[in-house]
Structure formats: C-alpha cells, structure tokens
Structure 1
C-alpha cells in the first residue's frame, strides 16, 4: 500500500511539473470562459471564442490533407445572396484548407464567378425548384443525402450545410469539425426548454414530447463527417416522407426533423450562437465576443415568393 501511494504521489508531482512548463499558447485552456456554457450534459464541447487555440488546431489538422465540403442552396431568387456568401467565405471560411463549395441551384447561369484560393472550387449542382419555399426547405435533406453518393463520399471528408442568405464576418475554421455538429438557434439561446418550437404533435415523426429535448438547433448550419451527415439527412428525409404520406407537415419543416434527430443522436460538438446570429433582430449581447456567420437583411416575403 505504501509503495503504491508513493508511486502515485510521484506521478502527480511529475504531471504538475509538466503543467508548469506548458507553452504560453496553452494558457487559454486554463482560463476558460465562465459567462457561457462550455459542455453539454453528454460532455460534448460547446464552441465559443476563447475555448480553442487556432494555432494548436492548425498543427493538428495541417498534415491530414482534409477537404471540407460546404453545401448551400441558391434556389429561385435566393441566388442573389450567393455572391456575398462566397466572397465572405473565401475571406473567413476554412482559410488555408481545401474547400468544395457545392451550390444547389435551379439557375446555374446566375452562379457568380469569384476569385478562389488555391485548392478551392465551386461545383454547381442543378436541381428542381418548388412552388413553395417550405417545399424547397423540406427537400434539402433529400438532396444532400442523394448527393452524398454522387459526390460527397468521393470528394470531401467533412460537410458543412449552411444557409445562403448569410455572410461570414469572422474566422470560421476547423474548430467546428467533428463527427456530427449542430448549431444553437440564436432565437432560443438562453430560453427555457418549454418555449422551444419543437414539433409537439405525436402523429408526426418529428415529435418531441413536452419536458424532453436538450437544445433547439438551427436548420441553417449543421454538419460533420460525410457518413454521419448522410445518415442524418437520410433519416430526416425518410421521416418527412412518412409524415407527408399521412398529410402532416412539421411545424418548422426540415428544422423540426433536424431537432428530432439530434435529440436522439447527440451531436459530438455544438456550435454557439457566434456561428449563426441575426444582429438586426437580436442586437449584440455582451456574451458574443465574435460574430462569425450572420444574417443578411432581407425581405422574406419578396424573396420567397419569386
């Protein structure tokens, strides 16, 4: 017993000496934020400014030769947002890494040509449009899952699925990458669970009972490794198809099914509202040190109906 205790004390002393000699770049790890939640109940990290070191992450990822795919839907008049989206992505999104921008559109001639960094390209995927914006939203999951086999499995390692009526405004890099990630919806950050706009009808495949649920995730930014994104989008599409056959349309369309899936299959990383925010509607609270991906002012009625 005495020898075991002595060895354990020696080990602890050795580890403490190592900690005292950590490089200064590790200081942030030991001065984490206390003003925001940093972990989910299942111990997945919640990513905020001040919780990661870009230089350390660069060292970890630089030899992996990864390619990130970014899917974006520019259907009907939403194509007008594409130029700003791509220009700001080139400035802030995964800078220094290979990126494939997958643009789903019914207007390929309107896809802008912008200067791209080396190793980055725009791939236009021509798809059908639909009369209602709700149907366009609902079919996103189907199209992403279908194109996993046609493109993504062969061409990229990770997928980020994002809304086009947004712009990048600060660094957004490999700190987001994980097997499966979701983004906290800015409109429900800090709200009580009972106020989340989950689908509450038991007849729907998107149903989450009252008193259940973890967070409310935004449909405008999710992703992960291709296999995990494929499994999620396929499951969401299948659930939508069942509901459609029963005459049911979930309250928030594809976002409702996304929330149901992430309730049952916990994400391995959660992105804070820094990664999706609407400053025009919500202002700029003190806890938001960075705004990385933000809404562009728009007239929803005009855009959606043309």
Structure 2
C-alpha cells in the first residue's frame, strides 16, 4: 500500500518539518510505504521519499487559501497512491497510528478531524461561512460536525475530488472578491456537509497547549512558542494592510469612473 503525505512549509514554518517527518515516519502507519510532497520556499533537497515542490510565499491567508490549487499541481502523480493525507505543518505524532483506527472504510472514503468543542453547541454557534453569496455558505439550520482544516485525507480518488471541488469554490469566490470566513477550512466544511466520512476525535489532533484529552495520539505543536507570537501576528498584520490598500484602490477607481 502506498500513502502520499501533503505538507506545506513556507517561511519560518519550515522549522516544523523535521519533527513532523521523523514522527510521521515512525508513528503514522509505519508498516506502509509513504512519500512526502512538501511545498516550500526553502531550498530543501528532495530525497528517496521526499519530493520538494517550490512554492513562493503568497502571504497570509493566501498560503492556506490556495492549498488546494498547490496540491492539484501534482494531480497525475497523486492518482497512483492508495491514500492521500494532508497534515498541518505543526503536526507531531506521539503514538503508533494503525490502519484500523485511521483509514476510512470503502463506504466512507474520507477521514476528517472534528472540533469536539462544537458538539454541545447549537448549530447557530458553529463557525460556518454564513454569507449567502459565498460558495462556502452553510445555512444556520444545516450541518452536524465542524471539521478542522489541519487533517484531511482518504482514498486518493475521493481526496482528489475534494481538492478539485474546494479549489473551484475558492476560485469562484475570489473572482467576486469574497474570502470565506475561515479560508480553506470553510470550503472544507461546505464540501463535507452531509457526507458520511470517518470522523476522528481531538485525540488525533489536540492543540499542544490543551490538557484534554490527556493522552493524545497526535498533537498540533504550539506555533507561538516555536515560531514566535510576533511572527504569527506579523503575517496577519501584513495581510490586513494589503486589504486596506486594496479597499482604498477600489474606492479610488470607483470615484475616477464617475
């Protein structure tokens, strides 16, 4: 069985790669052959089971918003894998992950990670995209699960279809100057709406700073500690400045056309 792993390490996020790779190799389905596709602007060299694809730094949130398009550049090669999985850059595997607990059944096709904090909340409180003009729109009375964007995958055919549809939704919105509320995660939740998939609990994706569940199998390392809170903040600040600049240009263009 062949498994393809998709990983994005742009800018300082490349610092997270070594820990991800070593823990994934030893803990994630260790009995199967794995190949890693890493998208980065760092001069990393490809190796036996690591294929490096140069990806320029598009800034935040574009680096996550265009994730689906990045992966589709390797669509033909990805078709030859049995399973494909994307993991957040700050993922670390702490315990052995077996096929039985992680891989979807034929009927499910995909595996997703649920935010358990939403389980006891009314649907109206879910952070779905609520603007009707967005492709990611989900009505207030719809939905059941809220999925994290940091872990998603499954059978290669099903996952590639997910990439294609989420990419299409993203591009359609961008052409109309719409950015979904939680970027790639919003489109993911729209695509998975009402689909029967294998649902993982927070045991398979617990933020490092949380204490529940007490013995997670997979964690998301604290980026503020590793990369620096100021770095994370600066990424978002630069994007806000770009948005303000864009808004001003749009206003000026409208005024000039009058």
For residues 235-267 of structure 1, give each alpha carbon's deviation from its aligned partner in whole angstroms, at most 9, with x where no partner exists. Answer: 111111111111110000000000000005x14
Task: Point out where structure 2 has 5 or more consecutive residues left out of the alignment.
Answer: 236-258
- TM-score, normalisation: structure 1: 0.69
**Equivalent residues in 2 for 1:111-130 (5 A)?**
121-130=49-58
SS at match of 1:233: helix
- Residue by residue over 1:84-137, the C-alpha shift from the partner in whole angstroms, topping out at 9 and shown as x without a partner, is 11111122111111111111111133x698xxxxxx72221222221x220000
Rounded to whole Å, the distance in 1 between the matches of 2:54 and 2:128 is 32
Deviating runs (4+, > 6 A) in structure 1?
none
How far, CA to CA, are the matches of 1:301 and 1:189 in structure 2?
32
User: What residue number does 1:276 align with?
Assistant: 205
CA distance in 1, matches of 2:196, 2:218: 20
CA distance in 1, matches of 2:119, 2:75: 31
Q: Is the 8 A contact 1:77 1:304 kept in 2?
A: no
The higher radius of gyration belongs to 1
Return the alpha-carbon distance in structure 2 between the equivalents of residues 215 and 189 of structure 1: 7
TM-score with structure 2 length normalisation? 0.81
**Structure 1 position 297 matched with structure 2 position 219:** no
CA distance in 2, matches of 1:74, 1:185: 23
- Cα distance, 1:203 vs structure 2: 0.6
Rounded to whole Å, the distance in 1 between the matches of 2:5 and 2:129 is 28
Match of 1:236 among 163, 166, 171: 166
1:217 aligns with 2:147: yes
Which residue is 1:135 aligned to? 62
Count of paired positions: 226
Alpha carbons of structure 1 residues 79 and 228: separation in structure 2 relative to 1, 3 Å: same
Cα distance, 1:166 vs. partner? 2.1
Picking from 16, 24, 45, the partner of 1:89 is 24
Q: Are the structure 2 counterparts of residues 196 and 157 from structure 1 closer, same or farther at C-alpha, using a change threshold of 3 Å? A: same
**2:103 is the alignment partner of 1:177:** yes
Aligned to 1:68: 3
Distance in 1 (alpha carbons) for counterparts of 2:122 and 2:14: 36
Matched, 1:144 2:71: yes
Q: Could you say if the C-alpha distance between residues 298 and 112 of structure 1 is closer, same or farther in structure 2, counting changes exceeding 3 Å?
A: farther
